[in-house]
Amino acid sequence: MLICEILQQSTAVLATAGVDTPALDAELLLGHCLGMSRTELTLNAKDVVPDTLFLQFQTFLNRRTEREPLAYILGVQEFWSLDFVVTPDVLIPRPETEQLLEKVIAFYSDEQVGDGLLVDLCCGSGAIAVVLAKELQRKVIAIDISFEALLVAKTNCEKHGVSHLVSLLQANLLSALPFISNIACVVSNPPYVSRQEMASYMQPEVLNYEPHLALDGGQNGLELIERIQKQLLSRLIPNGHLFMEIGTEQAQALCNLFTRKETPKQSFSDVSVQKDYAGHDRIFHAKMNSQTL
């Protein structure tokens, strides 16, 4: 069959399967099999596709028809204009998280930030840690509870030449770091989806394929964030910062949680929430008070 015929037929198949961007996905899958860019596919539309490559494309197409995410089929996801290796052990990096990084990077260029530790908490594929290490040329500690996710993060650190800057640590949130650990900044995209959201609105791509460990924030979506808040109270240095991606319904609850006074001396200030490009509350920031225990 010709490239243009395959694209036409497979676009229709994907559309029937309910895929959001059927033409784009068909092109990316075929381009991946043939080693061609989308422009090259257009330029060579009348080329015949060899049988072996067509068979390979068919398997990929079947997987996408089952609503397996494109990134898992291709094995990569573009994020911050870099290609990140992804497997079903890690969440696929999303554009919202790029906005989180923009905020952190702007903060580091505007403020005099000392030598305190910079932590990517719940690092998954390592997308946050890699971008921070590359852009800031600082050391980053990347923590995840999943060993399999850390293997993916390791691959991404190597791929992007930042292995010397990123230390990978398998741990349950910050529990492996001692109370006096000089943490100046925590950046995190923790699991924050509530059980109700998991059960109701999620796309099959997310629900059936992405790791629930990286999504499931417990009953109200806030279980891990509450534990993070508690751990930060005894670990973040005075004037240290937290930048975190949150669920769109969680802004108020988080502002309450982070302004609640645990003891007169332990609390956060400068609590703010920024919207993502879709206009949803998404990026949370809090600063540790200067007077801590």
Residues of this chain that interact with ligand GLN (CB under 6 A) are 94, 189-193, 206, 215, 245
Residue from 185, 176, 182 nearest 150 by CA: 176
Residue from 158, 159, 95, 157 nearest 132 by CA: 157
Q: In DSSP terms, which residues pair with 185 in a beta bridge?
A: 118, 241
- If the CB atoms of residues 31 and 217 are measured against ligand GLN, the closer one turns out to be 217
- If the CB atoms of residues 60 and 192 are measured against ligand GLN, the closer one turns out to be 192
Whether 68 and 92 have beta carbons less than 8 Å apart is answered as no
| Whole-angstrom distance, CA of residue 173 vs CA of residue 29 | 36
- If the CB atoms of residues 31 and 124 are measured against ligand GLN, the closer one turns out to be 124
| Whole-angstrom distance, CA of residue 182 vs CA of residue 116 | 5
Minimum distance between the CB of residue 19 and ligand GLN, rounded to whole angstroms? 17
Minimum distance between the CB of residue 163 and ligand GLN, rounded to whole angstroms? 25
Minimum distance between the CB of residue 90 and ligand GLN, rounded to whole angstroms? 11
Task: Report the Cα 186 to chain-centroid distance in Å.
Answer: 15
Within 10 angstroms of residue 138's Cβ, the number of other Cβ atoms is: 16
Minimum distance between the CB of residue 97 and ligand GLN, rounded to whole angstroms? 8
Minimum distance between the CB of residue 245 and ligand GLN, rounded to whole angstroms? 6
DSSP assignment of 67-117 equals T--HHHHHSEEEETTEEEE--TTSPPP-HHHHHHHHHHHHHHHHS---S-E
Minimum distance between the CB of residue 18 and ligand GLN, rounded to whole angstroms? 17
In three-state secondary structure terms, 125 is coil
Beta-sheet pairing, 140-144 with 117-121:
parallel
Minimum distance between the CB of residue 192 and ligand GLN, rounded to whole angstroms? 4
Residue from 66, 68, 96, 69 nearest 80 by CA: 96
- If the CB atoms of residues 53 and 206 are measured against ligand GLN, the closer one turns out to be 206
- If the CB atoms of residues 189 and 239 are measured against ligand GLN, the closer one turns out to be 189
- If the CB atoms of residues 116 and 204 are measured against ligand GLN, the closer one turns out to be 204
- If the CB atoms of residues 3 and 193 are measured against ligand GLN, the closer one turns out to be 193
| Whole-angstrom distance, CA of residue 152 vs CA of residue 190 | 17
Minimum distance between the CB of residue 240 and ligand GLN, rounded to whole angstroms? 22
Token duo for residue 103? 């905020």
- If the CB atoms of residues 180 and 278 are measured against ligand GLN, the closer one turns out to be 278
